[in-house]
Every structure is written in structure tokens, then in C-alpha cells.
Structure 1
């Protein structure tokens, strides 16, 4: 298969993924998540249910993807864009906080929707793992010639920390009254992210020092 054919195939797959997640979100906002079936999403996107299952494992995953799908690339790009003299721990923390806490108007609507359903909250938390691969590449570029396992472990640890912070944020505080299933997020998400990522500062500093690039 030529590179051109491969490229066209990937473009088609990406277009299908986008169509599915946008259809899932639109239907969820129009009907409510509980009234949306996988078949409905597939039909709205112009594909078969079998094709849908090649991209998403549930309707919740597709709905949440509408707001989180591009975040992994944005986090990695934000890390890479930090000046070279910025400490790695600071670069990672600021990139994560920036990309997780500055939603546009549509994203805010989706986040409000997510807080109404436990299954959507769970799917939202699990999306944190998606930042791992691209973040590992961004960390590797900042550290230079570094053992691949080091950058992968660091990126996986960052993803785990983000997941913990998101889980804390979307879980209702004990005794918090709920109305219509709505959960008011607990605490400040930026503060929760910073606190979780702070536990990784020694490891990020050590990796930077080992690479001969001590943090600023």
C-alpha cells in the first residue's frame, strides 16, 4: 500500500471518528444520554453499528470523546511549547492545568452533561490515560537522549495523577445533596490537578538531572 493510500485511509478513519463523537454529543444533548442508543449514533453518523464498535466501546465513551478527544495532543503541544529553561515539572503541570481547566462554551455544556450521569463521569475520568503516549514523546524531546522507559513511566504517572484528580473532582462530597442526578464538582480542579502532580515533582526533577538538564 502506498503512503498516499495509507494517508487517505487514516484521514477517512479520523473523519469517521469525528462524525461519531459529534453525533453522540448532539443526540445526548437533544434527547438526554439515557435515550441514545449506539444504533442511533451510528445511523446519525452514516455508518453501521459494527463500524461504530471499531471506534468506541460504549455510547458514554463517544459522548465524552466530543470534549476530550484532542486533549492529549494539546497537552503534549503545550509541554513542548514551554521555554527550554522552564523546569520539566512546571512545564508539565502548567500544560495539564491549562488544557483541563480552560473549556470553551460548548465544552462547558458537555461537562455539565457529564456531571449528571455516573457512567459519563466514569468515562470522563478514564480519558486521562489517553494523554500518555503523546506526552511521553513531548517529555522525551525536552530531555533529549533519555531511556525510552523513563519517559513512558513519567508520562504514565502523569496520566495516573490526572485521573486521580479528575476522580476526586467529579465525586460528590459526603452528604452533598443532589438534584436530578446533578453532582456539583468537589473543590477546584486546578488545585486538585496541581496537588496530584506535585507528588511527581521529585521524579520529574530526577529525570531532568539525569539527562544533564537540571530544572530552572
Structure 2
């Protein structure tokens, strides 16, 4: 039974990924405004109904990559030792996610460029980032229960961490990755850490 459930989940994730890649490809070719849900479904070789089972609209499909990266970051933070100081746990979770990226991920870079050209996508991403900030703040507070500066401390740490990640990845993308992304992220987080020393 568990193997069947795992296979089903893998198939679902493969379909989500195919839809994400299809909408990204079409948006780059045609421009997001000229992409329809029907075209995305056709490109991914699924029905319009299947598309609707996974995403509410083309914008949600396009932001799937971001949600995947967010989930991976949260999972990485959960796996860190519980007694590790919050900023170090955040930094190490980010390092685990970004260090393996030795070259520019063309689809991610393309998505970043699309986000800049479409304010509606940026607004959705800001909303997702706000939810992520709340989740991170709760996880930080759990790591250090009873800290006298709560809830301010965990919220400031979460907001600073996410702003630092955004800044590092934006600068890295603008410079076309002169250094590995992991190194750029770690350098930015180390700079931000100085503010908490």
C-alpha cells in the first residue's frame, strides 16, 4: 500500500513539474500574457481538467518552482539539530540547499526575469514570502522557547534571513553568477550575521 502511495505521489509531482516547465517554456517563448491554460495543458500533454487539479491558473503553475524551493528550505531547517542557534540553523539549511548548485539554473534565472516583468507575479511571490516568513518565525521561536525578546526576535530573524536570500540571489542573477550561488548566499548571510553578533 505504501509503495502504491509513493508511486502515486511521484506521478503527481512529475505532472506538477511538467506543467511548471511547460508554462515557463511558453512564457519565455510568447510572453506570459499570451499563454493560456489550454496551451500549457497541451504543452505538458495533459487535459485542461488535469491542469485544474494541480493549479488554479498559469501564475500558480509558474510559481511552483518557488514553492518547491521553499518546502525544501523548511525541510532542511527541520532537519537541523534542535540545540543549534537559530541563525546558524538558517544559514546551514540555506547552505545545504544552495551549495550543490554549481552552475546557473537556466529555468530559475528565466523565472526571476519573468517575475521582474510581471507585477502580478511579484505580488503573488510577496504573498508566498509573507507566509514563509511566518513559518520560519514559528520554527525559530520553537528552537529557543522562552527567549525574552519573543515574538519580535524570531520575526526579525526570519525577515532578515529572507531579505538576505532575496538580495543575494538577485545580485547573483544580475551579475550572471560570477561565483557559485551557494558561495554568494553564504557570504550574504555571514554579512547579515554580523548585525546579530
Deviation, structure 1 residue 111: 0.5
Deviation, structure 1 residue 120: 1.4
CA distance in 2, matches of 1:163, 1:56: 29
Deviation, structure 1 residue 71: 1.1
2:74 is matched with: 76
Structure 1: runs of 5 or more not aligned: 147-152, 170-188, 202-216
Secondary structure at the counterpart of residue 54 of structure 1: helix
TM-score (norm 2): 0.60
Deviation, structure 1 residue 161: 3.3
1:5 is matched with: 4
2:174 is matched with: none
1:113 is matched with: 114
CA distance in 2, matches of 1:130, 1:50: 29
1:24 is matched with: 23
CA distance in 1, matches of 2:115, 2:42: 23
User: Higher helix proportion, which one?
Assistant: 2
Secondary structure at the counterpart of residue 57 of structure 1: coil
1:89 is matched with: 87
Deviations 1:24-67 (A, max 9, x none): 1111111111110111111111112122112111211211223x
CA distance in 2, matches of 1:17, 1:118: 23
CA contact (8 A) 2:83 2:143 kept: no
RMSD: 4.4
CA shift in 2, pair 1:16/1:89, >3 Å: same
Deviation, structure 1 residue 85: 5.8
CA distance in 2, matches of 1:36, 1:164: 30
CA distance in 2, matches of 1:78, 1:164: 15
CA shift in 2, pair 1:109/1:34, >3 Å: same
TM-score (norm 1): 0.56
